[in-house]
Chains A and B, each alone.
Chain A
């Protein structure tokens, strides 16, 4: 019975699931842990890792015998970024936003009920939110997900709600009530920005503003994130202004077209 269940997942899917196990917090894995986590036999993982190594997706440290992601993946990742026109025109605007706000700036996209960082421009503050490009966050509790979602159709919003609005972590101030969540999205749309404090990671605030595509749709957003201490009642209004201005500039530039 058990083996039947296992074989219903193709080895391709297992290989991709294996790749997904490598995260910022767990960048290195040993063979047996991979087998445990994927719930497959060691011999299967052995063949999966061999194949991934052969094709240049992972490498094995000759000394520690740990597996980690291979830097040749960087090349494929680059094509993904260049396939987004917005990523070609955004750098000067986003870099300026880092200068104006002193905080780390992101450009995000919404995929299902997750918001994903497409680009990141880091600030030089020592105390900084630890994250990376490609990182996925639940849309319902991130300023980036909320702001893009606020501009989507009722049906799209309901679809995300239907997938659940779970508490991000025990101490997070996540909105978990569907009605309250819809009110929040309506407010965001009215104001033209989202401000989010402790809704995901406790101690972190974020501000996001929508980028409008030439079609009139909101596909992306610009955001800043930082510790609550730096984004307080005194300077938040000014920070919001900067973020909205950057998002507007990006919308205008998109309208003019790339190049």
Chain B
């Protein structure tokens, strides 16, 4: 729970209303007043009043006798997407990469201590891996997550470690010491390969995307079932992914040669 000092500047009813919005998910796309009041431990009258407010602004809409998220949210996501320069600049290079490797590629970034997919280009393979834009993932079990962590300040890395290192796939790193060692290596290599860390039999490879200041702001990654990317082709894939990361970085104003001079 939040401390009392924080509570003073938080509006309880607004917080409840926003939490109602966040209850909806792919699995629970339609909810009734009873479901919501049980989930948030709020009286039905409170829930129903908040729902009316949310409906009036288009954030929730009625489906029969229940409710789902309204189209106003789409307006917000549209604004976010149109502002993300990286979203505009990364699309073509990402498509190019997917055509070359015929595997699904993502551009992702860190949202606080979570990995979030911002852009996805799907491969034409019949066997696909489920993921979607906006999805949150624990950073320590994924290639783009670890790559981005490797370039974060120590405080962020500490926060992630403190929150606990979850075990998702057979090879998830759960030991902080090992993680720190890996991050150090990634910082040197400027790429990251993860095998079986999020899911069994899945390989992911990630490379950095840098802005004009040379800061790593996002990651480009490819994810595939292991049977399609064997040990022998990993180096080739790594090279293509690094190249794509550099292409996007260049479009964002990053000039490699200048940065090297600057660092020396």
State whether these chains interact: yes
Establish whether residues B134 and A116, one from each chain, have CB atoms under 8 Å apart when the complex forms.
no
Whether the pair A69, B14 counts as a contact (CB closer than 8 A) is no
Q: Are the CB atoms of B78 and A134 closer together than 8 Å?
A: yes
CB-defined contacts of A75 to chain B, threshold 8 Å: 116, 134-136
List CB contacts (< 8 Å) of A65-114 with chain B: 68-83, 109, 111
Q: Closest B-chain residue to A49, C-beta based?
A: B9
Question: A11-42 toward B: CB 8 Å interface, digit per residue (1/0)?
Answer: 11101110110111001000000000000000
Contact yes or no, A16 B53, CB < 8 A: yes
Whether A54 pairs with B10 at a CB distance below 8 angstroms is yes
When chains A and B are docked, how far (Å) is the Cα of A134 from the Cα of B75?
A: 4
Which residues B72-120 have CB closer than 8 A to chain A? 72-84, 92, 109, 111, 116, 118
- Contact of A12 with B78 at beta-carbon distance under 8 Å, contacts A75-B134, A77-B73, A83-B68 already known: no
CB of A127 to closest CB in B, whole Å:
15
Q: Does A133 contact B (CB under 8 A)?
A: yes
**Cα of A130 to Cα of B92 in the assembled complex, Å:** 18
A-chain residues with CB within 8 Å of residue B13 when the two chains form the complex: 10-12
By a CB distance below 8 angstroms, the chain B residues around A80 are 69-71, 73-74
Given A16-B59, A76-B21, A11:B78 Cβ within 8 A? no
- Assuming the contacts A20-B72, A80-B74, asked whether A10 and B53 have C-beta atoms less than 8 A apart, the reply is yes
Within 8 A of B (CB), among A136-160: 136
- B168 CB, nearest partner CB in chain A, Å: 18
B178 at interface, CB cutoff 8 A = no
Interface string of A41-77 (1 = CB under 8 A from B): 0000011101110111100000000001111111111
- A143 → B minimal CB distance (Å): 19
Query: How many Å lie between the Cα of A78 and that of B25 in the bound state?
Result: 9
Chain B interface residue bracket vs A: 35 or more
CA distance A81 to B73 in the complex (A): 10
A73 to B132, CA, bound (A): 13
Assuming the A-B contacts A11-B13, A16-B57, are A74 and B116 also in contact, with contact meaning beta carbons closer than 8 angstroms in the complex? yes
Cβ A71 vs Cβ B74 within 8 A: no
Q: Could you tell me the distance between the alpha carbons of A111 and B76 in the complex, rounded to whole angstroms?
A: 17
Q: A12-B54, A16-B57, A77-B76 are in contact. Are A51 and B11 (CB under 8 A)?
A: yes
Cβ–Cβ < 8 Å partners of B33 in chain A: none
Residues of B near A253 (CB, < 8 A) are none
**A27-B75 Cα distance, complex, nearest whole Å:** 12
Q: Is B26 an interface residue (CB 8 A)?
A: yes
B77's contact among A46, A52, A74, A111, by CB below 8 Å, is which?
Answer: A74
Given A16-B59, A74-B77, A55:B53 Cβ within 8 A: no
Q: How long is the Cα–Cα vector from A57 to B21 in the complex, in angstroms?
A: 11
Distance of A186 Cα from B259 Cα, bound (Å): 63
By a CB distance below 8 angstroms, the chain B residues around A71 are 80, 84, 109, 111, 116, 118, 134
A51 with B80: in contact, given A78-B132, A80-B71 (CB under 8 Å)? no
CB of B18 within 8 Å of the partner chain: yes
Q: What separation, in Å, do the CA atoms of A118 and B71 have in the docked complex?
A: 9
Kindly provide the distance from the CB of A139 to the nearest chain B CB, expressed in whole angstroms: 14
With A71-B116, A71-B118 already in contact, the answer to whether A134 and B19 are too (CB < 8 A) is no
Given A15-B11, A72-B116, A78-B133, do A133 and B77 touch, yes or no (CB 8 Å)? Answer: yes
B69, A12: Cβ atoms closer than 8 Å? no
Q: Which residue of B lies closest to A19 (CB)?
A: B76
Q: Please give the distance in Å from A194's CB to the nearest CB on chain B.
A: 21
* B188 CB within 8 Å of chain A: no
Which residues of the partner chain A approach B72 to less than 8 Å between Cβ atoms? 16, 19-20, 134
User: A168: CB under 8 A from chain B?
Assistant: no
1/0 per position for B3-41, CB-CB distance to A under 8 A? 000100111011101110110111001000000000000
Cα separation A74 to B74 with both chains bound (whole Å)? 8
* A241 interfacial by beta-carbon distance below 8 Å: no
Is A135 interfacial (CB-CB < 8 Å)?
yes
> A184: which B residues are within 8 A, CB to CB?
none
Q: B50 an interface residue at 8 Å Cβ cutoff?
A: yes
Q: Please name the residue on chain B nearest to A91 by beta carbon.
A: B122
**With A71-B116, A134-B76 in contact, is A76–B69 under 8 Å at CB?**
yes
Residue numbers in B under 8 Å from A17 (CB-CB):
57
- A182 interfacial by beta-carbon distance below 8 Å: no
Q: Given A16-B17, A16-B59, A76-B73, 19 more contacts at CB 8 Å? A: A12-B50, A15-B17, A16-B57, A16-B72, A20-B75, A22-B79, A27-B79, A47-B10, A51-B10, A51-B15, A52-B14, A69-B76, A71-B116, A74-B133, A77-B76, A83-B69, A133-B78, A134-B75, A134-B79
CB<8 Å pairs between A and B, sample of 11: A10-B53, A11-B13, A16-B57, A48-B14, A57-B18, A74-B77, A75-B134, A76-B73, A76-B77, A82-B29, A132-B79
| 3 nearest A-B pairs in the assembled complex, by CB-CB distance | A77-B77, A134-B74, A132-B78
